[in-house]
Amino acid sequence: MPELPEIEVIKCGLKNLCGKKITKIFKSNKKMRIESSLDLSALEGAEILEIARRARYLLINLSNKKTLILHLGMSGKVMISKSFKKIKHDHFACEFSDGLWMIFNDTRRFGFVDLIETKNLKNHKMLARLGLEPLSDEFNFSYLKEKLSQKKMNIKTAMMDNGIVVGVGNIYINESLFDSGISPLRNACDLKDFEIKKLISSIKKIIKKAIDLGGSSISDYVDTKGDLGNFQNSFKVYGRENQNCLHCKNLVRRIVQNGRSSFYCLTCQK
DNA sequence: AGACGTACCTGACCGC
DNA sequence: TGCGGTCAGGTACGTC
C-alpha cells in the first residue's frame, strides 16, 4: 500500500510527462471514494506543466489553470504504458499526443481522481487541514512537542494523525517507533524531550531510506514501470509477529491500536 | 472539542 | 472444491 515514500517514487516516475499534451480521457463508471469536482473532459488539450506531491496526494498542474489530484488509497497504481487495453479496476486513463498513456488502476477504490481549479487547491477538502511534511525543516522538536502536549492518546495513533504530520502510515510509524525505542502504548503527551527528538530523526531517516529503496512493496504496490520497491526487505518489526527481535532476540509482539496492527518489542521499546 | 469507533472496498487466505 | 469469515488500512464522518 502506498505511503509517502511510494508516492514520492511514483511522482519521480511521472516527471517525464511534463510538456506532454493530453489528447484523450477514459473514465470508468465505477464510483470512487469522492467524485470529481470538475468534468474530467476538461483535461483534453491541456499540457502538463508540473508533477508535485502533498502528503499522499499526487498533484498534476496543467496549462489550463487546473490541477489533477490523484490519491491511490490502499491499492491504487499509476502506470505509464505505450497502449491502453482496459483491464479490471482501471478507473481513469489519459492519452498524450505522443501516444503514451497514464493509467490509474485501483482494486479497492479507496483512492480517487479529482480535477480542481489550481487557485482553489489549498482549500480542497482533502488538503486544507493537513499537517507538516515529515521531511520538511518545520517538522522539528519544538513543533512536535507542542502538538503532542495536547494529545492524550497513545503515541502511535497520535503520529498517524494527518493534522500533525502527513504520509506516515502504519508501516513507517511501526518502524520509526522501533528505531527510536519507544513503545507504541506510551501516552503522546508523556514523551520526554529526548524521545521526541529521537522519534523525529527516526521518522526522517526511515522515510528517506524507503524513498532511496523505491518504496515498500507489500500486497500490490508497484511503481509507474510496474517494478517492485525494496524497503519491505528492511522491515525490522512490521509484519514480524512472533519472530525474534533483530536486536534482543525476544519475540516481536502484535497488538491492535485504533483498529490497526502495531508490532513492537517489549524489551527494546519502553 | 477531543477521542474513539465504524464504513468504505476487494482479494488473499484460512478453517471446516 | 467451495463457502463463509477475517484481515489489510487511509480517510471521512458519526457518536459520545
In this predicted model, what pLDDT tens digit does every residue of A144-187 receive, in sequence order?
Answer: 999 999 898 999 999 999 999 998 989 899 999 999 999 999 99
Question: If residue A61 lies in a helix (H) or strand (E), which one and from where to where?
Answer: strand A57-62
Among A26-40, A59-73, A130-144, whose mean pLDDT is lowest?
A: A26-40
Mean pLDDT of all residues in A76-94: 92
Confidence label for A136 from pLDDT (cuts 50, 70 and 90):
very high
A231's CB contacts (< 8 A; 6+ apart) are: A5, A209, A210, A213, A214, A215, A216
Sign, CA dihedral A37-A40-A46-A52, equals positive
Confidence label for A232 from pLDDT (cuts 50, 70 and 90):
confident
Between CA A218 and CA A230 the distance in angstroms is: 10
Assess whether A55 (CB) lies less than 7 A from strand C.
yes
pLDDT of residue A1: 64
Does the pLDDT value for residue A261 go beyond 80?
A: yes
What's the grid cell of residue A182? 519507544
Does the pLDDT value for residue A216 go beyond 70?
A: no
Give, as one character, the DSSP assignment of residue A77.
E
Mean pLDDT of all residues in A223-250: 85
> Straight-line distance from CA A108 to C1' C2, in Å?
24
Confidence label for A32 from pLDDT (cuts 50, 70 and 90):
confident
Mean pLDDT, rounded, of chain A: 91
Confidence label for A217 from pLDDT (cuts 50, 70 and 90):
low
First and final C-alpha spacing in chain A: 28
Summarize pLDDT for A53-63 with one digit per residue, the tens: 999 999 999 99
> Straight-line distance from CA A64 to C1' C1, in Å?
56
Mean pLDDT of all residues in A36-43: 86
Assess whether A222 (CB) lies less than 7 A from strand C.
no
Between CA A61 and CA A34 the distance in angstroms is: 20
Under a CB-based contact definition with an 8 Å cutoff, are residues A81 and A53 in contact?
Answer: no
A83's CB contacts (< 8 A; 6+ apart) are: A101
Does the pLDDT value for residue A25 go beyond 90?
A: yes
Burial A176-193 (b: 16+ CB within 10 A, else e): bbbbbbbbbbbebeebee
Between CA A81 and CA A118 the distance in angstroms is: 27
Between CA A14 and CA A78 the distance in angstroms is: 9
Between CA A167 and CA A144 the distance in angstroms is: 15
Summarize pLDDT for A110-120 with one digit per residue, the tens: 899 999 999 99
Does the pLDDT value for residue A212 go beyond 90?
A: no
Assess whether A125 (CB) lies less than 7 A from strand C.
yes
Cα Rg of chain A, angstroms: 20
> Straight-line distance from CA A78 to C1' C11, in Å?
20
Backbone angles phi, psi at A232, to 5 degrees: -60, -25
Selecting among A2, A5, A134, A184, the annotated active-site residue is A2
pLDDT of residue A6: 84
Active-site residue, A2 included: yes
Assess whether A126 (CB) lies less than 7 A from strand C.
yes
Between CA A101 and CA A88 the distance in angstroms is: 17
